[in-house]
Amino acid sequence: MQRLIRIGSRDSSLALWQAKHIENLLKQQGIQTELILVKSEGDINLTSPLYEMGVQGIFTKTLDIALLTGKIDIAVHSLKDVPTKLPQNLKIAAIPQRVNVKDVLVYKDASFTVTEEAGITIATSSLRRKAQWLNRYPKHEIESIRGNINTRLEKLKNTANWNAALFAAAGLDRIGLDVPFRKEMEWMLPAPAQGALAVVCREDDSEADAICKTLNHFETWTCTGIEHSFLRNLKGGCSIPIAALAVAEKDKVHFRGNILSLDGVRKVEVEMEFDLHNCADAGAQAASKLLSSGGDKIAEELKKFMTE
């Protein structure tokens, strides 16, 4: 009898799209599937800033427990939400080809123009986006915004003094939201692994692992692995103002990364190139270079902030 693969997902619109996307890919291979929905603490608490809620694994730990207790066989996550170190006996089985990695600015009307002058208020739940925005536009105000994509868009629409809000392009595109006024932030470096999905299974479930392996995309696996390694070696979580992007071009990987102070005043950057087929320690190398270039002082400050 053919194995039924039980797919776990959060119940937000984006999480459901992601889980159904993986489900459809598996069904195309003749795999029987069942979708099981689980609420996460990150979805339930819509008022506390992410960095006050334990951060690591906030959107994944409920599904981690469901995996470890055998309630589901695989879990589907946005890879940028997955901690750099998984719980014991869990593994990433596959990372499909990722999509748009950019952040986008969503605004209310066509007349809005970003200038360097004061009087502009931008909403975001991300310390990374906040720090990069303030680094470029220090006179602007930043407001915290929580909730799923639909909720955040509604809050932007109904909050009079907010001019715009920042989102991941991949999230908007995946669920097909018609956002009339948006602009990709070409200058903003994304979160490590942004735009990619992760399919997680138990280490001892070799059958589920083998089934999911067929969905893996080598270049995406390699590039996001470098980005995650960079983050891990900086001892940062998914909400810390650390950004990274690795891009594969022919047999090379071009990497850029940065770390910023919370107020955006200080920024340390690194840019390196690696061999696509020989880059196992690329993330560690990039992190070491960034730390030795002054990033260590910012990293220590961020560590203290996260533990207070």
Catalytic residues: 81
Separation between Cα atoms, residue 212 and residue 96, nearest integer Å: 10
Could you give the count of Cα atoms lying within 13 Å of 157 in the half-sphere of its Cβ? Answer: 9
Look at residues 77, 127, 129, 72 and name the one whose alpha carbon lies nearest to residue 98.
77
Separation between Cα atoms, residue 245 and residue 191, nearest integer Å: 8
Helix H segments across 49-122? Answer: 61-68
Burial class (CB in 10 A: 0-12, 13-18, 19+), 302: buried
Look at residues 101, 85, 78 and name the one whose alpha carbon lies nearest to residue 246.
101
156: amino acid identity, one letter? L
SS3 at position 126: coil
In this structure, the dihedral spanned by the alpha carbons of residues 37, 42, 44 and 45, taken in order and rounded to 10 degrees, is 180
Give the number of other Cβ atoms within 10 Å of residue 115's Cβ.
11
